[in-house]
Structure formats: structure tokens, C-alpha cells
């Protein structure tokens, strides 16, 4: 595996692959790899000739009071893990390489960024995501880019970016990878002390409770959400949001009649965690 620091060098490496008619798969990451990241790399490896993983803690998607300075970083560990999973190139630029002096462009995507994490963290968050992803796509022009479904809203933002800007990239969303007790894997899980780690399992359990109601035929959104709230309350967690929204548009819904995203975010101990389930109404569960 090659570790590349500059745009010019990674662009030339990808062009060389293109000249040999090789397909290119990109896995954008901020590092601190766990099995969720590795599952994306494995999927990219199975389906592409050249696999590129970007490792870049993107400063523009962090707010002033967020965890940019303490976000976990261990490039040597990450590089070894990526190499073990068949990655060809680890693109690990400095911030000044991505955002040189005088950089003055931001991409804003309206609608799907206005709710959930966009409402809580502010417009800058998804502006930063959209801008850096657009840059990565422009630098490497991958055939396919792989993202984790844990960041479901981010996936929708990237899909809208690709659609609206007519970018020739296919977006693959891969399933959430969980710990044995159901906690969604996240780089921020390292912030959890033992007590908070145990408490954090309530996020997925709350979604499971809502899922069980939907599976039993419940369609009222308020009833489904109330079941999830009850699990969180019992665990002493006050969510930043716990909402059921249309899975494609993120518009609010009052009744489960199709695919819906049940999404939660909460501060648990020292970590801000997110999770989600995609719910289907009982009469649509057998649909293709």
C-alpha cells in the first residue's frame, strides 16, 4: 500500500489506473478505523481494481465547540489496518493541501441538511461534508464511493450532491456494523468510560423497541417514537433528537406508510453518538 500526501500524486496514481481500464473505488474517512470502516474497505476491494482510502480529519465540518482537537488520530495504526484489508492507496493529506491559502468555496445543499444533525450542529457541518466530498470526487473521480449507513443523513447529502452536480460517481451505502451488544461502531466510542459505554447501548435498544412496534403493524409515528423515548428515559438519556422521517427526503411523517428513517442523537458521557434504523410498514415489508 502506498501512502500519498499530495493531490498531484494521488491524481496521477488514479490516472495511471484509468489508462489500464481499471476501476476505482474510494472510501472517504476521518481515520480512527474500526470494523465499520474495514467493512467499507472490504466491499471496495471486492468490487474494484484500485481501492483508495482517504484519511483526513476535515476541519470544516467541526464547529467551534466540537471535538476537532481531540478527535482520535493514529495514522500508523490506521495504515496497518488498511494495508491488511487490501487497500492500494491511503491518501492522507495535510489540511493545507485540501484547503490552501485563499480557499473560498463552500457547497451548501438545502433541504436534507436543515434537520436532524444539520439543525443541531449547524449548517457548517454538512457544508463542510459536501465541500470536502466534492473535492475528493474531483481529485480522484472514483467509479464508486462507499459510505456507512450509520451516517444516514450524510449519505443522503452526498447522494444529493452527486445528483445536483451531475457527478459521475455511484454511491454505495453499506450496513451499520455493531458491537455484540448492539452499539453502533463509531470512532467516538473511545470517549466512553465503562459506565457511559453500558448506558450507550440504550440507543440501539430504543430503536429496536420502535422497530418491534412497526413489525407488529403499528403505523402511528407518535406511538412508535414514544416507545423509543421510553427506553432512553429508562437509561437516563435525553436525546438531542429522536425523529421519524421519510427515508429519502427527511420530511417529517405522522404515519408509517413506506420507508422511514428513525434517527437518534444523544450525548452519552463524553461522546456524542448517533444511530438509526430504517423502518417499513408491516404491509410493505415483503415489497421488493
Q: What is the 3-state secondary structure (H, E, C) of 235-285?
A: CCCCCCEEEEEECCCCCECCECCCCEEEEEEEEECCEEEEEEEEECCHHHC
Nearest CA among 240, 258, 15, 271 for reference residue 142: 15
Cα dihedral sign for 251, 57, 240, 192? positive
- For the residues of 189-202, what is the DSSP string, one character each? GGG--HHHHHHHHH
Phi, psi of 233 (to 5 degrees): -60, -40
Exposure string for 77-87, b = 16+ CB within 10 A, e = fewer = ebbebbeebeb
Nearest CA among 267, 257, 263 for reference residue 278: 263
For the chain, report the end-to-end CA distance as a whole number of angstroms. 40
Active-site positions read 37
Amino acid at each position: 500500500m502506498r501512502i500519498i500526501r499530495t493531490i498531484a500524486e494521488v491524481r496521477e496514481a488514479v490516472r495511471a489506473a484509468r489508462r489500464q481500464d481499471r476501476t476505482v473505488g474510494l472510501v472517504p474517512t476521518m481515520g480512527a478505523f474500526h470494523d465499520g470502516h474495514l467493512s467499507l474497505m472490504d466491499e471496495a476491494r471486492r468490487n474494484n481494481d484500485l481501492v483508495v482510502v482517504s484519511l483526513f480529519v476535515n476541519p470544516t465540518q467541526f464547529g467551534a465547540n466540537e471535538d476537532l482537537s481531540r478527535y482520535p488520530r493514529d495514522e500508523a495504526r490506521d495504515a496497518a489496518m488498511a494495508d491488511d484489508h487490501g487497500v492500494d492507496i491511503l491518501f492522507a493529506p495535510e489540511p493545507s493541501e485540501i484547503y490552501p491559502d485563499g480557499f473560498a468555496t463552500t457547497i451548501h445543499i438545502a433541504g436534507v441538511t436543515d434537520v436532524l444533525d444539520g439543525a443541531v450542529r449547524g449548517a457548517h457541518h454538512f457544508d463542510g461534508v459536501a465541500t470536502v466530498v466534492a473535492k475528493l470526487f474531483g481529485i480522484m473521480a472514483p467509479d464508486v464511493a462507499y459510505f456507512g449507513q450509520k451516517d444516514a443523513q450524510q449519505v443522503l447529502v452526498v447522494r444529493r450532491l452527486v445528483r445536483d452536480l451531475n457527478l459521475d460517481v455511484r454511491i454505495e451505502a453499506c450496513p451499520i456494523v455493531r458491537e455484540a451488544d448492539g452499539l453502533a461502531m463509531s470512532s467516538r466510542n473511545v470517549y466512553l468510560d465503562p459506565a457511559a459505554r453500558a448506558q450507550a447501548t440504550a440507543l440501539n435498544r430504543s430503536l429496536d423497541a420502535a422497530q418491534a412496534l412497526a413489525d407488529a403493524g403499528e403505523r402511528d409515528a407518535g406511538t412508535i417514537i414514544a416507545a423509543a423515548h421510553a427506553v432512553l428515559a429508562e437509561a437516563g438519556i435525553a436525546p438531542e433528537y429522536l425523529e421519524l422521517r421519510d427515508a429519502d427526503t427527511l420530511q417529517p411523517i405522522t404515519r408509517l406508510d413506506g420507508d422511514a428513517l428513525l434517527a437518534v442523537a444523544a450525548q452519552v458521557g463524553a461522546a456524542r453518538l448517533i444511530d438509526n434504523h430504517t423502518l417499513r410498514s408491516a404491509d410493505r415489508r415483503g415489497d421488493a
